[in-house]
Amino acid sequence: MEFIKPGSGKPKRATKVKQVVAEPVDESEIPIRIEVQQKGTVASVVPGSVWRQTPFRWEPKPFATVSDELNEKFIEPSVQDASLVRFIKKPHQPMVYGVAGNPDDSKAKLFAAYLVNVHCKRLQGDANPWWINLVGGFDNQWLDPQRPRPSMIVLTNLTPQSTSQKLEKARDILETYPDVPRIVVVAGADPLSFLATRLHVAVHGLAYFCEALIRQKIEVI
């Protein structure tokens, strides 16, 4: 279910916060912890630095979008729960899943590894996940038509300060492989604001790991 899309036309600054909630989900389907066993395909795909983050409880917090280009939205934890349950049920379904951390993306990356693990368990031998650490430069080897097509893509190394070149690379990859799940990992911004205003893509799932030292502006109407 696509619950959020970027706005069109001239951006407006809202004076009130719109609450975004999701359909209720069976709590038994929601994982208690985000932890991944470092073995098999996941261990070979996920960079070693990701495993420095220890497992953590899945306790999504409400957050408000902060972009001046968006009408302010207050995202309820139910949206993040529903996004995760939807992925667990259909980890092969085409989608764009925005996963972000603030001030850093350590938890966001481990969460992305968790999604890769879910995907690989379901597809088993047919799984071919790509973990792409975006870097500067003009070369984009991931668009080579000779490469075996991915079954899932994780994009990392994106921040609000990313260059237009790196953002163009990310968009090119997202648009080239629209038929697979694509996880976009962001550091230093909420996932909805970043994907809607920097990459300009529709968002089908959200997860945001914002540490307590980051001040949150939340106003419930």
- Measure Cα distances from 167 to 68, 103, 113, 209 in Å: 19, 20, 22, 22
Report the pLDDT value the prediction gives residue 23, as an integer from 0 to 100.
Answer: 67
Q: List, in sequence order, every residue forming a beta bridge with 57; answer none if it has no partner.
A: 33
Helix axes 106-123, 77-89, angle to 10 degrees: 30
80 lies in some domain: yes
101 lies in some domain: yes
* % of residues, the chain, pLDDT over 90: 75
pLDDT of 10 > 50? The answer is: no
Task: Express each pLDDT in 93-119 by its tens digit.
Answer: 999 999 999 999 999 999 999 999 999
Radius of gyration of the chain from Cα atoms? 17
18 lies in some domain: no
**Average pLDDT over every residue of 199-220:** 77
Q: How many domains does the chain have?
A: 1
| 66 and 190 Cβ atoms separated by less than 8 Å | yes
Degrees, nearest 5: CA angle 53-58-64: 100
152 lies in some domain: yes
pTM of the model: 0.87
Task: Express each pLDDT in 35-50 by its tens digit.
Answer: 999 999 999 999 999 9
The alpha helices in the chain, defined as continuous H runs, are 40-45, 77-89, 106-123, 164-176, 191-194
- Measure Cα distances from 81 to 88, 97, 109, 112, 181 in Å: 11, 13, 17, 15, 17
**Beta-strand pair 33-34/56-57:** antiparallel
Q: How far apart are CA 52 and CA 87, in angstroms?
A: 24
Q: How far apart are CA 182 and CA 196, in angstroms?
A: 15
120 lies in some domain: yes
pLDDT of 211 > 90? The answer is: no
**Average pLDDT over every residue of 192-204:** 95
For residue 58, what are the domain limits? Answer: 33-138+148-210
Task: Express each pLDDT in 146-193 by its tens digit.
Answer: 999 999 999 999 999 999 999 999 999 999 999 999 999 999 999 999
CATH code at position 43: 3.40.50
Q: How far apart are CA 24 and CA 6, in angstroms?
A: 24
Task: Express each pLDDT in 57-78 by its tens digit.
Answer: 999 999 998 877 777 888 999 9
**Average pLDDT over every residue of 14-26:** 63
16 lies in some domain: no
pLDDT of 89 > 50? The answer is: yes
pLDDT of 18 > 80? The answer is: no
